[in-house]
Amino acid sequence: MMGVAAVLDPRKKIAVLDFWFHKLYGQDSGAQVSRIKELCYGLLYDYQQMRLRDAQPTAPSIGTTTVVDDPEDEFDA
């Protein structure tokens, strides 16, 4: 988890992983850094898919009533 946090830190990015993981894992550091990169890219892909899904236009319906259970839904509408 700290590896993901380091990648998200704009001051460090992946360079800090390469440096510290080499000290921690030695020869296996490349595999560890690759695992964290894959995790980060997976999180980015999931976020992009969510944003694309939310950006899909919906046709307005005329003469229908919307039931609002969550105040945030009303704000979003």
CB atoms within 10 A of CB 17: 22
pLDDT for residue 68 is more than 60: no
At residue 9, the pLDDT reads 78
Q: Which residues contact 40 (CB under 8 A, 6 or more apart)?
A: 4, 7, 8
In the chain, the DSSP E strands lie at none
Highest mean pLDDT among 10-14, 46-50, 70-74: 46-50
Domains of the chain, residue spans? 27-54
pLDDT in tens, 42-64: 999 999 999 888 877 665 556 55
Across the range 5-19, mean pLDDT stands at 80
Residue 14 burial by Cβ neighbours in a 10 Å radius (0-12, 13-18, 19+): middle
Supply φ then ψ for residue 23, to 5 degrees.
Answer: -70, -35
- Residue that wins the pLDDT comparison between 3 and 46: 46
